[in-house]
Amino acid sequence: MMLFKAPQQKSDTSTIYIICLRILNVNEFIKSKNFQKAVSRNIKSRQGIFDEPENWQSKQLTDSPLINDFTKIWQQLKETYT
């Protein structure tokens, strides 16, 4: 993932430009196989550490309420994060 340096003189326009470039890089990373590998490694490393919620270690990512019912969860959380 390539990172961009902000210019020495900062303006609202240059700051927005830098933020957009970083978002594009993040989006490219999320779509990449490297992201998939990183998520898989992270899940595997966490399986031995956390016991809750019960039986989560043997479930698939698609069993997650965050994946299955994102709209309901977002409705409960959006006031906190918007």
Per-residue pLDDT at 1 exceeds 50: no
pLDDT tens-digit map of 6-31: 445 555 556 666 666 677 777 787 78
* pTM of the entire predicted model: 0.38
Q: What is the CA radius of gyration of the chain?
A: 18
Distance, CA of 2 to CA of 17 (rounded, Å): 15
C-beta of residue 64 within 8 angstroms of C-beta of residue 36: no
pLDDT number for residue 22: 74
C-beta of residue 73 within 8 angstroms of C-beta of residue 66: yes
Domain edges within the chain: 12-49+56-81
